[in-house]
């Protein structure tokens, strides 16, 4: 049986009439889930839906998006740009906490890595460029991703999954993890020291990466990451159904 992977929806006003809105995910996430042998299930940011669908899920992807409200990690807004829809923020933070508590495999991507951290009482760098002026360029030109290399902790789960301690990744973010949350470890950084990945080593699979592997599916590192995540979801799903 193919595992079911839930993925939270983004929210924005619809161009097709006042009072309407769109709840969606980018197709690249769905392609990545399917490529790795799983079935995607979209999770709209509605509390009642989350309560009913969580028992159906074998794994969860926390997708990219706009900036978290800094109040969620105890700071004033000093350098955020567009803030994430409040419903999605509440939904995805709750989802990150629940999947950790219930040991459901979880992969956080870009904003998703930051959600994992804030859900565990960690904090964020609100703007890399102004806070760390000597940093490399982490945002690409308009509509594109940059590229740079990240170094991965040798004994981390992420290094084992990728089969490497250095990988080239795409980059399109202006925020990053600052202080890791409870029980989380920093397991990858770019050359300027900016955090690029975190994980909970005690969890079956609880990993956040700052890049967008769903846009790198032709590359071995992305394929390995999604296949390892889906395999963890398959295994954990079987165990949950037996219990």
Question: What positions carry a catalytic annotation?
Answer: 110, 212, 214
For tokens 């295994």, the residue is 235
Alpha-carbon distance 3 to 235, whole Å?
9
CA-nearest of 167, 202, 170, 205 to 188 is: 167
Three-state secondary-structure class, residue 178? coil
- Count of alpha carbons within 13 Å of 238, Cβ hemisphere only? 7
Q: How far is the CA of 209 from the CAs of 44, 65, 74, 239, 240, in angstroms?
A: 22, 14, 23, 26, 26
- State the alpha helices, DSSP H only, in the chain: 27-35, 47-53, 86-101, 111-119, 128-131, 157-162, 220-242
Q: Region of 11 please: left (phi>0), alpha (psi -120 to 50) or beta.
A: beta
């Amino acid at each position: 049986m193919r595992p079911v992977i839930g993925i939270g929806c983004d929210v924005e006003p619809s161009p097709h009439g006042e009072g309407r809105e769109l709840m969606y995910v980018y197709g690249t996430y769905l392609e990545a889930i399917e490529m790795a042998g799983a079935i995607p299930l979209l999770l709209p940011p509605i509390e009642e839906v989350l309560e009913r669908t969580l028992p159906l899920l074998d794994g969860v992807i926390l997708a990219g998006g706009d900036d978290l409200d800094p109040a969620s990690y105890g700071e004033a807004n000093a350098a955020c740009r567009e803030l994430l829809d409040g419903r999605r923020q509440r939904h995805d933070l709750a989802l990150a906490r629940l999947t950790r508590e219930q040991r459901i495999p979880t992969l956080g991507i870009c904003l998703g890595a930051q959600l994992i951290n804030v859900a565990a009482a960690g904090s964020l760098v609100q703007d890399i460029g102004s806070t760390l002026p000597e940093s490399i360029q982490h945002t690409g030109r308009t509509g594109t991703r940059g590229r740079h290399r990240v170094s991965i902790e040798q004994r981390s789960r992420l290094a084992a999954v990728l089969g490497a301690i250095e990988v080239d990744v795409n980059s399109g973010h202006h925020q990053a993890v600052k202080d890791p949350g409870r029980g989380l470890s920093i397991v990858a950084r770019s050359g300027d020291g900016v955090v690029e990945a975190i994980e909970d080593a005690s969890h079956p699979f609880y990993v956040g990466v700052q890049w967008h592997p769903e846009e790198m599916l032709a590359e071995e590192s992305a394929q390995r990451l999604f296949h390892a995540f889906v395999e963890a979801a398959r295994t954990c799903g079987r165990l949950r159904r037996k219990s």
